[in-house]
Amino acid sequence: MLLLVVACGADKPLTEPPTAQPAQTREPTAAPSASPSPTARPTSPPLSAFEGDPAVKGMRAYLVAAATAVNARNLQQARLLATSTAARAALHQDIYGPSLVGYYPGPNPTAVLGVQVISKTERSIPVCSPEAGILLDKRGGKPTKPLKVLGGRFRMVFESGTWKVDNASADKAVVCAGVPLQPPIA
């Protein structure tokens, strides 16, 4: 998925990752039963220290919606439009149109490096994200291009009660050497 057109000021500090809650003490309980509870599910560690930020959650929802829309060959899917500003949605055909012949095995694996607060309703999220190499020629197929990871930024805006992608662009100031993609490429 291509990162495209955003300009953000670099003069504002990145927010700190959410702090961990202090450990809570627990009263001793009976030993666990041999069979696990049907509601118990293993949890994965967060993809980054910034995953609790609502703007990052909005970006992740957009990435899932974009992959789903490409795979369905429908860039007008409600979920994609709901996670995009009107300005971003107007660019979807240019951004994702060439990908409609392929298949995304999941959302674009994107490493979030921070969250820059621009205002109450605007955030800039520096990321490392593939520009190429994720789109497959078909379900279970081979990548259409070699993997190419770029530094970039997502510009998120709070609109109609939710964080939406307004723009995304490459940013050479975001260094990605040695940064693992999230989620990792299988």
Phi, psi (degrees; rounded to nearest 5) at 153: -140, 140
- Which carries the bigger pLDDT value, residue 124 or residue 43? 124
CATH number at residue 122: 3.10.450.50
Indicate whether 84 pLDDT > 80.
yes
Range of the domain at 139: 54-170
Phi, psi for residue 22 in degrees, rounded to 5 = -60, 145
Residue percentage of the chain with pLDDT more than 90: 65
The answer as to whether 39 is a domain residue is no
The predicted-structure confidence for 42-66, as pLDDT tens digits, reads as follows 555 667 889 999 999 999 999 999 9
pLDDT at 29 over 50: no
Q: What mean pLDDT is predicted for residues 64-90?
A: 97
Output the pLDDT for position 45.
Answer: 61
DSSP letter string, 76-135: T-HHHHHTB-HHHHTTHHHHHGGGGGSB-SSS---EE---EEEETTEEEEEEEEEEES--
State the pTM of this model: 0.75
Number of domains in the chain: 1
Average pLDDT score over the chain: 80
185 inside domain: no
